Structure 1
Amino acid sequence: MPNTWILVADAARARLFESLRRGAEPVEIACYYYPDGRSPGRHLEHGRLPRTQESNSPSRHAIEPKTSLRDKHAQRFAETLGAVVRQGRREGRYDRLVLVAPPRFLGALHDSLDEATAACIVGEVRRELMTLSPAELRAHLPR
């Protein structure tokens, strides 16, 4: 019987569950917390996004696309979680992966996964379910 990992996450917290057999209640095997994921979404020291000063010369310079601080933190946390599930796949700790996250963070998770790990995904739930107990979570998972 294939082993399944269930990653339940949002931009600041994540819980990793393992389900050893179909219909069984998932068992929590790890918990992650990223306090910067709860940031207000702007640079605290200035209260607004940084600005660039234009020059008087005809030369132009590239600037970084506008990405909020909150989105940057979410991407960093997603990359951390991506590394965790990649390592678990390499070690053979699971065969199938289920992702549970709000739609925006789910996109960040997808961006952080390599091709081989993404191929292990057998289901997704696009909802915020961080606070549910394992039994309640089981009711929301795909069959």
Structure 2
Amino acid sequence: MDLTGSSLVIVADGRRARLFEERRRGGPLIEVTSQLGDLAPHRPMAASHAGGSHERMGPASHTGDRPTPGERREDDFIDLVGARAADVMRRSDHQGLVLIAAPRALGRLRQAMAHAKLTVSHAEARDRVSQTPDELRTCLRELRLHD
């Protein structure tokens, strides 16, 4: 692995995403989230529950095992982030791709990157969207130490 090369860092959960460039390994993280474009929802807000039905002769719930509308909305958001981040990665000259995301979002981002035939150099299953670039830089340094 190139110790001096640049990396693209994606930090996301099911509702928010941030994109950073690390122009040299161990250097400052520069936020470039605007390169992802408009990530605002374009559909009405979904309910957070799947609904259910109850039998007339007693209590019962038949909600099924399908994702709730809220989970589907989060999945759609992460899929959009993954597709746009893959486009940014293809257009750039970054050598590394780092994913830091909530566990469910991390899985979907990994799928998007595999579908785009991009290799993820490091990944962490933690929700760190609210952290500052300096805090993320420290986390990235620790993540690289363990690999």
TM-score (norm 1): 0.73
1:68 aligns with: 68
- List structure 1 segments (4+ residues) > 4 angstroms apart after TM superposition: 31-36
1:131 corresponds to 2:130 = yes
Find the residue that maps to 2:121 and give its secondary structure. Answer: strand
How many residues of Structure 1 are paired with residues of Structure 2 in the alignment? Answer: 123
Q: Deviations over 1:3-60 (max 9, x none)?
A: 2000000000000000011111111011575558x855226xxxx25x7xxxxxxxxx
Give the gaps of 5 or more residues in structure 1.
Answer: 52-63
Unpaired segments ≥5 residues, structure 2: 54-63
Displacement of 1:93 in angstroms is 4.0
1:108 aligns with 2:111: no
Asked if the contact 1:6–1:100 (Cα under 8 Å) also holds between the matched residues in 2, the reply is: yes
- Greater displacement, 84-93 / 97-106: 84-93
Amino acid in the other structure paired with 1:78: I
CA distance in 2, matches of 1:2, 1:116: 20
- Identify the match of residue 42 of structure 1 among 30, 45, 49: 49
Q: Does 1:18 align with 2:21?
A: yes
TM-score normalised by the chain length of structure 2: 0.72
In the alignment, which residue of structure 2 is the partner of 1:94? 94
What is the CA–CA distance in structure 2 between the aligned matches of 1:109 and 1:14, rounded to whole Å?
11
C-alpha RMSD over aligned residues = 2.5
1:5·1:19 contact (CA, 8 Å) conserved in 2? yes
